[in-house]
Amino acid sequence: MTKVYTTACPRNCYSSCSFKVLVEDGIIVNFEPHSDNRATPEGICLKGLSYKERVYSKKRILHPLKSDGKGGFSQVSWDEALALITEKLLYFKKEFGSHSVFFYESSGMSGLLNEISSAFWRTYGGVTTSYGNLCWPAGLEAVRLTLGENKHNVPWDLENARLIIMWGKNSVETNVQESIPLEKALEQGAKLVVIDPRRTETAEKADLLIQPRPGTDGAFALGIARILSDSGRVDSTFISQYVHGYEAFRKSLKPYTNAFVERITGVPVKYLDMLADLIAETKPMTIIPGYGMQRYTNGGQTIRCILSLQVITGNIGKPGACFHYANLQSYVFDKVLEPLSYYPEIGDDGVSRRAVSKASLGQDMLSQKDPELKMIWVERGNPVSQNPDTNQILKAFRKLEFKVVVDQFMTDTAREADLILPAKSMFEQSDIIGSYWNPYVQLKQKVIDSSGEVHPESEIYRMLALKLGFETKIVRELFPDNSDESIERWLEEKLRPFPGISLDKLKKGPVMAPGLQNIAFSDYIFKTPSGKVELLSDKARKLWGVDELPAFNLTEENTIQDVKNGKKAYYFLTPNTKNRIHSQFGNLDVIRQFDPEPRLEINPEDASEDGIKNGETVRIFNDRGEFYSKVRFNFGIRKSCLSVPNGWWISEGGGGNYLTAARETDMGHGTAFHDNLVYIEKI
């Protein structure tokens, strides 16, 4: 008999697709679309279809594994694993203090139950944690400073736009569900502009492709803003009613002449004028910036510059008019926390805090004193290959006395562990998730029993809490046991403040977030200090030390000042791909048949200058590190740019983060991966 369950994908992806899981005799047999989710009605992507292999893969870790210290691992019992962890936690806390233990988590699996990990480490006494984010915080902060909060129109509203600008975003690959309303908009006569150094699959649909030098998008946006302002083609009514700081902004645009913008961006003036005319003449307009652009040292200001075009043309708060960066309206369970610079060192719970930056993880780990770090616990992440400056991270990891990694597969980080604990799959425990693109609250429903000896992380923490001697009352309050009934009671308690949402409803399908604005800012309420859209933001300078106005600054590493160290320097791009979510999925056979090995994409004209032939292996290097890759010619990539999709494991031939610097973005404590010049040579 086939049982059909509703669920939702909990990965770090725009779509958070709803879908149905078909189970026979306790085994997943198929997946089907769930049309009740208007954002994802046509079903899951290739990665989603690979979930069956991911659950039942022979490569999956199903038992605790202990390192032999020589690169090998052997299976141990849960009793032995828990006893070893308990011994180490008690020892390090007694001898060095609880902050000698580092808890590192990332975004590999979303869900409310992840709160339990924080509850455990607080109860333990407070440990060193991380702050910042590898993904999007510079842009989040830029939008928050300007509009007051992060929200955008519902995804299907894109059908109403007449001009769509995909600015540094390749939605055909990285947000495939967005292609549905995009196609409908184009069928209705909308114009599509793509701004990207690469000619992507999304660009193939475009009326206009513009390829600026990486890291110069802010200058390009301000050049357009100057043309619009000087010619009076702005929405004066919207500006006078709802915008703070326009006159100061208009005056600041004087340096962004056509000649200056062309020199900085490498884009001919005719394209600057062409896009300015399109923006002035076509409404409503939606701009959809990607996350890659704000992963530079000038990333937050870049997003403010681009957002200014939406503001001065009055394309806010209307159908089809939207700045589509992040929609946090379904994050109804999250406390709205300011960036870490606002945090006290002592939390509301009285537990002291110590944190290191995700952007400079390796060097920050090494620099911790009083106490030094002795132990790390890693879950939902693969920092060895995913965080900047891999060499420093490896050095920091190998200096530690004890390393625990919770994962499903033998990732680069898991290989560094002393003890690996098997992680649950998305089908082995119920949880509730939101989305940063679609407007739904969803249930990721348990549909099968755990494989092998896998315990969900919440159960691992409960077992450890008992071993460590936490008070029975605290254990009962904070850590549900792993029975379905206990987990559902815990989740129902989280739903209590939201009477319109219940587990029974969520089991049937996605539920719209309470208080949802289908058209963001349609009430023209902006939660900024002035109550208006803020082009002039005092908080920008006070909090982050950047200009109060959107402004352009060169990235720390750039080729504007020509050749570096007598060699030809390249911008190294590490975009996302449809085949992986960062370092997840790429190890599966169903994915590898389409994407078997990393390839370095280069413009053939650049390759010819360096005497490199298609298919040859080259060394990619800078003063931080090196790795090797075969070359693939791509006429669609801008000259002086190289590209390898991120997420390749080192053990698979990857290693792009050997080359990246440990730098934060200009605001939000983001990670400036793309501020990165490299060199190539034949081998």
Residue 567's pLDDT is 77
pLDDT of residue 337: 44
Give me the pLDDT at residue 610, please.
87
Query: Averaged over 240-264, what is the pLDDT?
Result: 98
Average pLDDT, stretch 462-487? 94
CB burial of 630-641 (b: ≥16 within 10 Å; e: otherwise) equals ebbbbeebbebb
Position 563 scores a pLDDT of 46
Confidence of residue 1 (pLDDT cuts 50, 70, 90): confident
Query: 87-132: per-residue pLDDT in tens?
Result: 999 999 999 999 999 999 998 899 999 999 999 999 999 999 999 9
Amino acid at 567: K
Confidence band of 340 (pLDDT split at 50, 70, 90)? very low
What pLDDT does 335 receive? 60
Beta sheet of 2-8, edge-to-edge order: 2-8, 18-24, 27-33
Q: How far apart are CA 658 and CA 445, in angstroms?
A: 38
The C-alpha torsion from 31 through 37 and 39 to 45, rounded to 10°, is -10
Q: Residue 392's pLDDT is what?
A: 97
Residue 507 scores a pLDDT above 70: yes
Listing DSSP states for 149-206 in one string gives S-----GGGGGG-SEEEEES--HHHH-GGGHHHHHHHHHTT-EEEEE-SB--TTGGG-
Is 47 in contact with 579 (CB distance < 8 Å)?
yes
pTM: 0.95
Rounded-to-integer distance, Cα 98 and Cα 313, Å: 53
Kindly state the average pLDDT of the residues 257-278.
97
Residue 536 to residue 550: CA distance in whole angstroms = 8
Write down all domains in the chain, each with its CATH number in brackets: 65-126+332-433+440-512 (3.40.50.740), 137-329+519-544 (3.40.228.10), 570-682 (2.40.40.20)
* Region 53-82 average pLDDT: 96
φ/ψ (deg, to 5) at 682:
-70, 155
Please state the length of the chain: 683
95 in helix, strand or coil?
Answer: helix
What tens digit of pLDDT does each residue of 12-24 get? Answer: 999 999 999 999 9
Asked if the model's pLDDT at residue 351 lies above 90, the reply is no
The DSSP result for 549-562, as a single string, is: S------SS-STT-
The answer on pLDDT for 348 being more than 60 is no
Chain-wide mean pLDDT for the chain?
A: 94
pLDDT > 90: percent of the chain: 91
Token pair of 198, please? Answer: 């690469």
